[in-house]
Amino acid sequence: MPDALITEREGRVVTLINNDAPYNRMTLDFMDELEELVPKLARDASVGAVVIRGAGDEHFSVGMNLKQLGEGTRRKGSFEGVLDQRLRVISKIERMSKPWIATLYGFCLGGGLELPLGCHFRLAAQDGAQIGLPEMDLGTVPAWGGSARLARCVGRDHALDMILRAKKISGPEALRIGLVQEVWPNDELQARARDLAHELAAQPSGAVAGVLDAIVGSGALSLEEGIAAERRAVVATFGTKENQEGIRAFLEKRAPVFYPENDSSPDSDT
> Torsion angle, CA of 72/76/78/79, rounded to 10 degrees?
-40
pLDDT at 219 over 50: yes
Q: Do the Cβ atoms of 55 and 6 come closer than 8 Å?
A: yes
Q: What does the pLDDT read at residue 221?
A: 56
Straight-line distance from the first to the last Cα atom of the chain, in angstroms, rounded to the nearest whole number: 41
Which positions are annotated as active-site residues? 114, 135
Range with the poorest average pLDDT among 69-83, 172-186, 253-267: 253-267
HSE-CB for 240 with a 13 A CA cutoff:
18
Range with the poorest average pLDDT among 34-38, 102-106, 202-206, 230-234: 230-234
Q: Residue 268 — pLDDT band, cuts 50, 70, 90?
A: very low
Q: What does the pLDDT read at residue 225?
A: 63
In angstroms, the CA 9 to CA 19 distance is: 16
Range with the poorest average pLDDT among 85-89, 148-152, 206-210, 262-266: 262-266
Burial of 222 (0-12, 13-18, 19+ CB in 10 A): exposed
The whole-number average pLDDT for the span 205-230 is: 76
17 residue type, one letter: I
pLDDT at 190 over 70: yes
Q: What does the pLDDT read at residue 270?
A: 39
In angstroms, the CA 116 to CA 96 distance is: 14
**DSSP designation for 267:** P
What is the average pLDDT value for the chain, to the nearest integer? 90
